[in-house]
Amino acid sequence: GAARRAVLRGFLSVRPLLPFPARPPAARPLRRGVARHAIALRRPGGSSACAELAQTTDRICGGLRDLGVVPGGRIVLRGKNGPMLCALWLAAVKIGAVVVVTMPMLRTRELAFVLRKTQPALCLVEADLEPELMAAAEEVGQIGRAHV
């Protein structure tokens, strides 16, 4: 009841006291080179080894930095589940970004809500999902930072 709402309200008002880590622990196994020959991702028709995933995410990290993403910066990812979405997520986490992944079924109204709440520094979107995201970005005045 009331006590639960008070705890939730207190939790939601808390601001982080420490800066976001530049190298979060989620990407540690790839940085260490643990089992680089082991399978990291399985998909219909193939798989990716840890070494291959590490190379891909490192390239993506460089691109994200070139686009101005910094530790603690927010990124919206909009795409279908697959190896590239996974690699994008992992790369963003490796550089310390806060990642918001949207479901492909979200439409303009829901996406506009997400954009208003997150105020992302960058949106990465699959080409066939771009029109809906661009309409939402236009609605909230964030045009110019979406990349396909």
pLDDT of residue 47: 83
Pairing of strands 146-147, 74-78: unpaired
- Report residue 8's pLDDT band, with 50, 70 and 90 as the boundaries: very low
pLDDT averaged over every residue in the chain: 79
For the residues of 39-69, what is the DSSP string, one character each?
EEEEETTEEEEHHHHHHHHHHHHHHHHHTT-
> How do residues 65-112 score in pLDDT, each as one tens digit?
999 899 999 999 999 988 899 999 999 999 999 999 999 999 999 999
pTM comes to: 0.73
Residue with tokens 């686009």: 67
pLDDT above 60: residue 31 = no
Q: Is 141 left (phi over 0), alpha (psi -120 to 50) or beta?
A: left
**Is-contact 115 142, C-beta < 8 A?**
yes
